[in-house]
Amino acid sequence: MPELPEVEVTRLSFADRIDGAVVTGVRVGKPLRWPLGIEPLQLTGLRVGAVTRRGKYLWLSMRAGEVAPNAVLPSDGGLLLHLGMSGSLAFSPQPAAPGVHDHFDLATDRGTLRLTDPRRFGAVVWSPTLDTGMAGKLLASLGLEPFDAAFDGVHLHAALQRRRVAIKLALLGGDIVVGAGNIYACEALFTAGIDPRTRSDRLSRPRCQRLAQAIRQTLQAALDLGGSTLRDFRDAHGMAGQFQLSARVYGRAGQSCTVCGTPVRRIVQAQRSTFFCPSCQKR
């Protein structure tokens, strides 16, 4: 499910409401991708601060301090969350009884943040800071944020020159630019008119300029539509996204290209589906 737009839409849907809340309890379900990295009881009494995003990760900063000076607390830190393929977060004042796919509850005095994740590729991990511990390790190799001013055609071109994988895979890797997963990589390459099989080091500077622009444009359009809901994505209010309705190639194999009418093709790259228009997108 969740690429940058879904993660950001999720963040915006609960960040304000949880900011300042005090943790009253934690429930863990089945194991997620990595262990929590802290005794759940130790989170009780911490105060939740800002919720930020890096790539497809969310960071819930948490502070000890004035709230429960006598409790057994770790030093300040936070929870790094990842939604994996099938995860979603809900924040509700009166949560229902946990279902079979609800694997993490952070109960606070303002409501409960719940991770639902059938496939359990998601993660919730304690880390002292974003730069150290498990978070530091996981975020270390991430590329630029697509909306960072430093991410432009020049930067993209330089980075792609150092690689020789297919451009689609270079985008999915996340070490050049973060946030575009399978849907948005396909859509951005369509918008930029680039064949997803093109070797990354064969793209000219102007085409990289167009691609950088297309990535931002695609992600922004998805943000504006609340992300994509193919099956189970919901924001923390339970709202579905709408971008999938305006996808031009993703999931449209065999259907006519909206620009030229040529049937959209599906191929497999690195065991993942790629959709593209063989006429509009060139090597």
Partner DNA sequence: CTGGGCTCCTGTCAGC
Partner DNA sequence: TGCTGACAGGAGCCCA
Our finding on whether 252 is near DNA (CB under 7 A) is: no
Between CA 83 and CA 57 the distance in angstroms is 8
| Minimum distance from residue 59 beta carbon to DNA (Å) | 13
Order of all β-strands in the sheet with 102-108:
23-28, 102-108, 111-116, 88-92
Angle in degrees, CA 273, 2, 218, rounded to 5? 75
Instruction: Report the residue from 121, 193, 225, 267 that binds DNA according to the rule CB under 7 A.
Output: 121
By CB under 7 A, tell whether 70 contacts DNA: no
CB under 7 A: which stretch of 39-47, 54-62, 146-154, 187-195 binds DNA? 54-62
- Using the rule CB under 7 A, is 64 a contact of DNA? no
- Residue 117 to residues 42, 101, 113, 180, 228: CA-CA distances in angstroms? 24, 6, 13, 21, 17
Residues 75, 63: Cα–Cα separation, whole Å: 8
| Pairwise CA distance, residues 279 & 109, whole Å | 56
**Site for DNA, residues 22 to 51, rule: CB under 7 A:** 30, 33
Q: What is the dihedral of CA 160, 162, 167, 170, to 10 degrees?
A: -100
Comparing CB distances to DNA, the nearer of 45 and 91 is 91
Answer for the pair 174, 55: CB distance below 8 angstroms, yes or no: yes
Residue 135, classified by CB atoms within 10 Å of its CB into exposed (0-12), middle (13-18) or buried (19+), is buried
| Interface with DNA (CB under 7 A), residue from 17, 53, 56, 265 | 56
Asked if 273 is part of the footprint of DNA (rule: CB under 7 A), the reply reads yes
Catalytic pick from 98, 199, 272, 278? 272
276 binds DNA (CB under 7 A): no
Q: Does 221 interact with DNA (rule: CB under 7 A)?
A: no
228 scored as a contact of DNA (CB under 7 A): yes
195 binds DNA (CB under 7 A): no
56 in active site: yes
In a 10 Å sphere around its CB, with 0-12 CB exposed, 13-18 middle and 19+ buried, how is residue 195 labelled?
A: middle
Q: Does 163 bind DNA (CB under 7 A)?
A: yes
Catalytic residue IDs: 2-3, 56, 272
Residues of this chain that interact with DNA (CB under 7 A) are 1-3, 6, 30, 33, 55-57, 82, 84-86, 100-101, 118-121, 138, 141, 162-166, 169, 172, 174, 181-183, 200, 227-233, 241, 270-273
